[in-house]
Amino acid sequence: MASASPIAPSPTSARRLIDSHGRVIHDLRVSITDRCNYKCVYCRTGELGAQYPELGIEEYLRLIKLFVNLGIEKVRITGGEPLLRRGLIELIEQLAQLRTLAGEPLDLALTTNGHLLDNLAAPLKAAGLNRVTVSMDAVDAPTFERITRVPGSFKNVLAGIRAARAAGLAPVKINCVLLRGFNDNQIEGFAHFAREEDVVVRFIEFMPLEEGRLWTPEIVVPLAEIVARIGRAMPLVPLPPREPSETARRYTFPDGVGEIGIIAPVSQAFCGACSRVRLTSDGKIRTCLFSQVEHDLYGRMRAGEDETALSNYIVQTIYGKEARHHIGEPEFLKPSRSMVHIGG
Ligand code: SAM
């Protein structure tokens, strides 16, 4: 006998965003541009520039407020490269004024390549940003710059990381995407880097979200291999998850100095605990990184729909969030947008 499907929430009474699989969505990622000043070899084909229109800062703010009034508690600003976006500081200032349904300030984070962070870390902190994640795929300058394809980028990013720490954007997290044959020789170096720079290093398995066609199962460096390799160099001590929807498996070292996290969406998918939804730079809702459909929230706003209608649309859209991704399965279809154009 087929099991009864859950009843869709009544939009106007909804106080939280819940999908048809019972997951509560409280984490919103917002891309504010799909422009980027890096051309990372595993992400871009080499062309710079935006493919999708950007909204005005006030328009992002209006859309984000709708989500916050429906139970979003964490907002992460991303891109493209969000530090390229004029009006970023004002956006953070405004977001810092918002309150969750429980009356708390939002957990406000930003993901950046760090190239412009040296000068912006202190103003971002003063505007109300809580945390920053810096993407960094190698700890030696030549490998780093072979990946970003921007000469001189390593020293900028290192300065950015140090400025973020000095500004109190703690804990500074470093995201490293590992690709076999590109930068998997950096694993042990990153363990030392985490300890020396007092940052949390998180290795992320490479997902099929690149502009070109690089992804194969073999190029992914899986969680188990990363743990084994660091463990051979230095013993690792597992840390407990801080919340059920935590995506990273966390480890420290016997002396408690330094933290390593591994995010394994490919080898150990965590879709069952997903609490995320994304808004693209052109105002489309994506309920999953691998969604085949997008939901044009901004189009409805431009057409004059009021806050109630827009909120109802968000509730219904999130109710239909996909159960899981299908990476590595025969029916897997690559989404039409790549990571840089979705918002990582
Ligand atoms: N420009 C910002 C940055 O560099 O952090 C934000 C956007 S970037 C697309 C966000 C993150 O996505 C980066 O850490 C990047 O390494 C990661 N990323 C890009 N393509 C990826 C892929 N195919 N699989 C896993 N992570 C990816």
* Ligand 1 centroid – CA 169 distance (Å): 20
Sign of CA dihedral 98, 102, 105, 108: negative
Probe ligand 1: pick from 40, 204, 266, 325, max atoms within 8 Å of CB?
A: 204
At residue 1, the pLDDT reads: 34
Task: State the burial class of residue 31 (Cβ atoms within 10 Å of its Cβ: 0-12, 13-18, 19+).
Answer: buried
Tell the residue nearest (CA) to atom 15 of ligand 1: 135
| The model's pTM | 0.94
pLDDT tens for the 344 residues of the chain, in order = 333 344 555 554 557 899 999 999 999 999 999 999 999 999 998 776 678 999 999 999 999 999 999 999 999 999 999 999 999 999 999 999 999 999 999 999 999 999 999 999 999 999 999 999 999 999 999 999 999 999 999 999 999 999 999 999 989 999 999 999 999 999 999 999 999 999 999 999 999 999 988 999 999 999 999 999 999 989 999 999 988 778 899 999 999 999 999 999 999 888 999 999 999 999 999 999 999 999 999 999 999 999 999 999 999 999 999 999 999 888 899 998 999 999 98
Q: Which of 45, 120, 339 to mutate to test the pocket of ligand 1 (most atoms within 8 A of CB)?
A: 339
Q: Are 63 and 279 in contact (CB under 8 A)?
A: yes
Which atom of ligand 1 has the smallest separation from the CA of 133? 5
In degrees rounded to 5, what are phi and psi of residue 237?
-120, 120
**Ligand 1 center from residue 178 Cα (angstroms):** 11
Provide the pairing of β-strand 173-178 with 200-205: parallel
pLDDT in tens, 24-59: 999 999 999 999 999 999 999 877 667 899 999 999
Nearest CA to 179 among 156, 134, 212, 132? 212
By most ligand atoms within 8 Å of CB, the mutation choice from 45, 48, 111 for ligand 1 is 111
Residues in the ligand 1 pocket, defined by CB under 6 Å: 36, 43, 78-79, 81, 111-113, 135, 175, 177, 204, 206-207, 209-210, 339-340, 344
Q: For domain 17-342, which CATH number applies: 3.20.20.70, 3.90.1150.10, 3.10.20.340, 3.40.50.800?
A: 3.20.20.70
